[in-house]
């Protein structure tokens, strides 16, 4: 039976850490392998979500396994996901922009990162002083 999950499928290009859990088929089955854990958890850390295959449903997404040609990708079903987090930004070199919430929580500033270092911010403080706390926040 499918469990409800609180996770939404990430988009292709998102960098995610995902843990999926599978029930071991032998567990609790007479004649099954004793001493097995009931569940196996598979963790993929900071992997970039790949474009979906046409046959996948909207409740599935695929990630690289890092295990080479024999088993290059893994299709993850949301039903098996027990942990999913998106990286704040894709840790890829080059220029990128990160949205940082303003201190009143009502608006966002855009911080430009170059190779992971904050170099510009759209807030007023940066316009005056050429630095602000958002840069550090965006670098995290």
123 belongs to the binding site for Zn ion (CB under 5 A): yes
Chain residues 52-111 in contact with Zn ion, contact rule CB under 5 A: 109
- With CB under 5 A as the contact rule, the residue among 76, 98, 121, 138 that binds Zn ion is 121
Q: Is the dihedral of CA 133, 138, 139, 140 positive or negative?
A: positive
Nearest distance, CB of residue 9 and Zn ion, angstroms? 32
- With CB under 5 A as the contact rule, the residue among 63, 78, 132, 138 that binds Zn ion is 132
Q: Which residues bind Zn ion (CB under 5 A)?
A: 109, 121, 123, 126, 132, 134
């Amino acid at each position: 039976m499918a469990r409800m999950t609180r996770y939404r499928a990430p988009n292709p290009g998102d960098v995610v850490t995902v843990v999926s859990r599978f029930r071991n088929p032998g567990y609790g089955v007479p004649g099954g392998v004793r001493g097995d854990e009931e569940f196996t958890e598979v963790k993929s850390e900071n992997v970039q979500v790949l474009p979906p295959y046409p046959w996948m449903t909207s409740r599935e997404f695929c990630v690289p396994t890092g295990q080479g040609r024999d088993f290059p990708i893994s299709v993850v079903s949301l039903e098996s996901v027990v942990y999913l987090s998106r990286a704040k930004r894709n840790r890829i070199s080059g220029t990128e922009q990160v949205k940082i919430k303003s201190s009143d929580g009502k608006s966002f500033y855009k911080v430009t990162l170059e190779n992971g270092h904050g170099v510009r911010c759209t807030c007023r403080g940066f316009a005056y002083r050429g630095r602000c706390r958002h840069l550090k926040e965006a670098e995290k």
